[in-house]
Chain A
Amino acid sequence: MLVYVLRRILYTVPIAMGVSLVCFALIHLAPGDPLSAIIPEGASPETVAQVRAAYGFDQPLPVQYLKWLQHVVMGDFGNSIMTQRPVMHEVLPALANTLVLAAAAVLFGFALGCLFGVVSGYLAGKPTDKAVTAVSITGVSIPHYWLGMVLMVIFAVELNLLPATGMGEGGSGTFGLGWDSLQYLILPALTLSVIPAGIIARSVRGTIAEVRKQDFMQTLHAKGLPGRRIFVHVVKNALPAVLAVMGLQLAQLLGGSILVETVFSWPGTGFLLNNAIFTRDLPVLQGTILVLAMFFVLINLTVDVVQTAVDPRIKRA
């Protein structure tokens, strides 16, 4: 087990390096000069050369990459071209907001998904199962940015029950646990939870139906075990597979929130990324993507390790 965990962590290092390389390459993939946003029209060639040298763009690419990587490892992602503030000062508060949103969506989505999945897995083939399956396919197919607009029309415009956009009065950046803050969270979190709820419901249903078909279930019934004790066995056997799907969904929420954050003007990483794209603020763009991707890698690593710990049948060494 320990050997597996160490190996899995070691395996993450080249992946993380690759991810950083892709993030670095993104800037050089961009058409035009990445500095065109700050160099004024008709600047003299000397000025241009000076600015290029100041940002290190005059050196060969591998040197640039290594220098950049060295700074990134120390937590220095450079300065935003727009605000001149360090990129980290922009990304970290946004990341906190995205995590609040993702956590709320996970709570909604996982609870709904598990409930639907268990009910439908127990009643596999019955009309209730068909109905639940239809609902979960809807969850998977629905364009969530559109669902966000529909919820906004119903609850904010027509019923006037919940605020439509933002994260608090006057777009304040602090998030508390009172109703003042929570009411802003409900619609975006609900919107974001639909896809994981659908995917988890489908996978829980499949896994539970599969476990219930196995021979040992008959043994449990034959020896007269009550239903709730059998349920414990079902959960134990279904858990590893379901955990893996959940972890992947949690990780996908980090990136998937971009569209929902834009719809609800939620000041998270997606919102930041969107602004960075349209102001061509490449350092912020690069920093946000790198931080999110590293988070994603980390969650996947955790999921793998937890899954191995939970399921003694997996012997990975």
Chain B
Amino acid sequence: MSQPAIALAGTKAPAKGKRPATRSFWRNVGRRLLHDPVSMACLTILLLIVLAAIFAPYVAPHDPYRTSMARRLIPPGDARYWLGTDELGRDLLSRLIYGGRLSLFMGFAPVLLATMIGGLLGVIAGYVGGAINMLIMRVIDVFYAFPSVLLAVAISGVLGAGIGNTIFSLTLVFIPPVARVAESVATQMRNQDFVEAARATGAANWRIVLAHVVPNVTGPILSYASSLISVSIVLAAGLSFLGLGITPPEPEWGLMLNTLRQSIYVAPLNAVLPGVMIFITSMCFNLMSDGLRSAMDVKQ
């Protein structure tokens, strides 16, 4: 928000009804990200994984579901099965490629849902204040009073395995922290002079929220939500690893790690491979989230 309050002589005054400051801020962030080699490297790796997952039927060398008792646990480096096979003789490379579909989806969906729901709750609580704030934030506090992994495991454990239940439990875990971020920014906004001024000119509440609160809350929420993606991927795979997420025989990295765990003494390399995929994606999302945060840091 570096827009000068008084337009200097010779500069163009900003057009009425538009918010050029906001737009150029995001354009700057994008430009800084493009010049950050680490973020771009991570983006490339992630794009490769995502594209491979989307076009899995064309990319994968074998059928990820076809089992064979004769080809069980072939070690990586085989001429036909590059990354070896799993405990049921299924091609590991193909399963890792297909696995990206569910693993990435399970990482993204809860963060997306939690960002929307938590952001909405936070903005309402922060902007309206008073009793509504009390009600929303105290309920949020209760859910915040559980260790996040424990809450996810408890809800998934009670509801049972399945994609929908996993997404539901992870969303519930991520709503409280997002709502807290949104609430604290929205509360600050409520008492800003420009919001006061907008109110004085007779702007309706929905208009103030849309024009002033939401644009200011977006940055902190996005920055926070981006750091949640890697947590969500690790946690979703972790639930599958416990047997509480995806159900067999679907290829998913956490579930693959779970079933291959039995073979850890026989074929240790095969057994740890799915974890490498979880690690790489989570690492890339974390580094990109860091890049985004420093790109949004106006002080630099």
Contacts and interface: CB of A to CB of B under 8 A. Distances in A.
A145 B238 contact: yes
Nearest to A34: B158
Contact of B145 (A142, A143, A273, A297): A297
B279 A141 contact: yes
B282 A143 contact: yes
A66 interface: no
A296 B146 CA distance: 7
Given A14-B138, A143-B237, A153-B268, A255 B151 contact: yes
A26 interface: yes
Interface stretch (A15-23, A68-76, A109-117): A15-23
Contacts of A26: 154-155, 158
A189 B215 CA distance: 44
Contacts, number: 138
B287 interface: yes
Contacts of B141: 15, 18
Nearest to B154: A289
Interface stretch (A43-51, A221-229, A256-264): A256-264
A61 interface: no
Interface in A286-311: 289, 292-293, 296-297, 300
A221 to B, nearest CB: 23
A141 B257 CA distance: 17
Interface in A133-158: 137-138, 140-143, 145-147, 149-150, 152-153, 157-158
Contacts of A278: 243
A255 B283 contact: no
Interface string B279-295: 10011011100100000
B1 interface: no
Contacts of B242: 258-259, 262, 274
Interface stretch (B85-93, B108-116, B270-278): B270-278
A142 B150 CA distance: 18
B148 A31 contact: no
A22 B290 contact: no
A30 interface: yes
A19 B230 contact: no
Q: Is the interface of B mostly helix, strand, loop or mixed?
A: helix
A87 to B, nearest CB: 15
Interface string B232-266: 00100110011110000000000001000100110
A143 B138 contact: no
A300 B146 CA distance: 11
Interface in A239-284: 251-252, 254-256, 258-259, 262-263, 273-274, 276-278, 282
B9 interface: no
B146 A255 contact: yes
A118 interface: no
Interface residues of A, number: 49
B264 A140 contact: no
B175 to A, nearest CB: 14
A285 B138 contact: no
Nearest to A277: B157
A150 B272 CA distance: 7
A255 B283 CA distance: 22
B158 A30 contact: yes
Contacts of A15: 141-142, 145
A33 to B, nearest CB: 13
Given A18-B142, A297-B145, A300-B145, A138 B272 contact: no
B81 interface: no
A147 B261 CA distance: 12
Contact of B153 (A14, A31, A273): A273
24 contacts: A14-B138, A16-B145, A19-B142, A19-B146, A27-B158, A29-B158, A137-B290, A142-B283, A145-B275, A146-B278, A149-B261, A150-B275, A153-B272, A157-B264, A157-B268, A252-B149, A254-B147, A255-B146, A255-B147, A262-B241, A273-B154, A276-B157, A285-B157, A293-B146
Interface of B: 138-139, 141-143, 145-151, 153-155, 157-160, 230, 234, 237-238, 241-244, 257, 261, 264-265, 268, 271-272, 274-276, 278-279, 282-283, 285-287, 290
Complex A-B, nearest 7 residue pairs according to Cβ-Cβ distance, in ascending order: A255-B147, A146-B275, A255-B150, A18-B142, A277-B157, A141-B283, A153-B268
Given A146-B276, A158-B268, A277-B153, 5 more contacts: A143-B238, A149-B261, A277-B158, A277-B244, A296-B145
